[in-house]
Amino acid sequence: MTKNFDAIVIGAGVIGASIAFHLAERGLKPLLIERKQIGFGATGSSSGLVRMHYDLEVESRLAWASFQYFHNWKERVGGECGFRRTGFLHIEPAGHETQLRANVEMHKRIGIPTEVISGDDVKRLAPSFYTDDLTFAAYEPESGYADPMLTANSLLSAAKERGVTYLSNCEILDAQVAGGKAIGAQTSRGDFSAPIIVNAAGAWAGKVSELFGVTIPLGAWTHDVLHIRRPASIKDHPTVIDSSLNMYFRPDSGDLTLVALEDDSRLNEPADAELGYVAKDFVARAIDRICKRIPEMEQGSLHSSHVGRDGLTPDQRAIIGQAGPEGYFLATGFSGTGFKLSPAVGLCVSELIVDGQARTVDTSCFTPARFERGEQLKGDNDYGFIWRNSNS
């Protein structure tokens, strides 16, 4: 027998869980389905940065709206998200100073606490850092990182408390479409009916979308991450995106530092390809980079490494909006930056569905139709693509 719901959300990563939570807050009774378990995809391997520095204003607005959740998680959602304030530094190559200063001014206009600081200021904030090559950086004193799995699980718990039904190990097999409208889904755990379908399936969203007759330009971005045991001389440090060295890093519990690289990414591997092991030269390259910025890390030791994957669009920006049959919505393609945006994305998607438009942040620029028009999103003071392969 087909069971009826107000909406079906496909994918229980942090984006899907946030959407289900917010739809329930608006009084809907959604079904959240996940082909494996909560956070199985990109969320489970996310680095969890919580920062607002982007070169595209709408992303900074989404990050700023999301920060209000991370900063007040118990009051806004309940449970724990593991947010830790470390301060955040965004370092760009010398040739990007004009862009960085303009972006910081844009962030200030939004209301984000941020400023441009000097290399000497960076040294005062992070005495272990090598800063002779730095004359400027953007600094967000309130930013840091959170725990992606804690975040997803607390969103799921709060969603279920508000009436969301959650099914794990539930794979979508086919779409139900009639009269130009999405009306439900056939799954490995039965058939379900709903007038609203939200595809938040991450790297698998392209395959899911094909079932509804909608083709989206979605590849995959596979990233390697390692944890280093810090030497005793380095007690702590800020969270950092260091584009001058094509890496990002942050502290972690247990005196660890998480390190990942922005270049030599593995692009467009199949979503269901085995993650396997990190690239054979990744560990050596990542250790070399982190030691350039924090020379004392030479005294550290390798703790662990892992691999993750997310959906990647041609402009490395999200796809959010209605497409194809009436009632079918996309919230995917976050290209490795979805975690920090997820609370506001869930809110905006719920507004789009219930009110007809996103009001908290206007997300209309993320429409999937932009690719059909040959358009790509780009910041007014653009830094270029975040993720690059060896040929970029």
Average pLDDT, the chain: 95
The pLDDT of residue 1? 55
Name the token pair of 203.
């790297």
User: Percent of the chain, pLDDT > 70?
Assistant: 98
- Give the C-alpha separation, 365 to 356, whole Å: 15
Residue 390's pLDDT band, with cuts at 50, 70 and 90, is: very low
Nearest CA to 379 out of 332, 335, 312, 316 is that of 316
Looking at the domain covering 3-45+149-218+315-372, what would its CATH class be?
alpha beta
Query: For 125, which DSSP code?
Result: H
What pLDDT digit, counting tens, does each position of 315-335 carry? 999 999 999 999 999 999 999
Name the token pair of 132.
């002779």
Residue 359's pLDDT band, with cuts at 50, 70 and 90, is: very high
- Give the C-alpha separation, 332 to 57, whole Å: 19
What pLDDT digit, counting tens, does each position of 147-187 carry? 999 999 999 999 999 999 999 999 999 999 999 999 999 99
Cα three-residue angle 98-106-75, rounded to 5 degrees: 135
Residue 139's pLDDT band, with cuts at 50, 70 and 90, is: very high
The pLDDT of residue 389? 61
The pLDDT of residue 228? 98
Checking if the pLDDT of 15 tops 60, the result is: yes
Q: Say how many residues make up the chain.
A: 392
Q: Are 263 and 246 in contact (CB under 8 A)?
A: yes
Name the token pair of 303.
């703790």
Within the chain, which residue ranges are assigned CATH 3.50.50.60? Answer: 3-45+149-218+315-372
Checking if the pLDDT of 105 tops 80, the result is: yes
Residue 73 burial (C-beta neighbours within 10 Å; 0-12, 13-18, 19+)? buried
- Give the C-alpha separation, 260 to 47, whole Å: 9
Within the chain, which residue ranges are assigned CATH 3.30.9.10? Answer: 85-142+219-308
Q: Letter for the amino acid at 317?
A: R
Sheet with 172-178, edge to edge strand ranges: 3-4, 190-193, 181-187, 172-178
Taken in order 87, 92, 98, 99, the sign of the CA dihedral is negative
What pLDDT digit, counting tens, does each position of 272-301 carry? 888 777 888 999 999 999 999 999 999 999
Out of 3.90.1170.50, 3.30.9.10, 3.20.80.10, 3.40.50.720, which CATH number does the structure's domain 85-142+219-308 have? 3.30.9.10
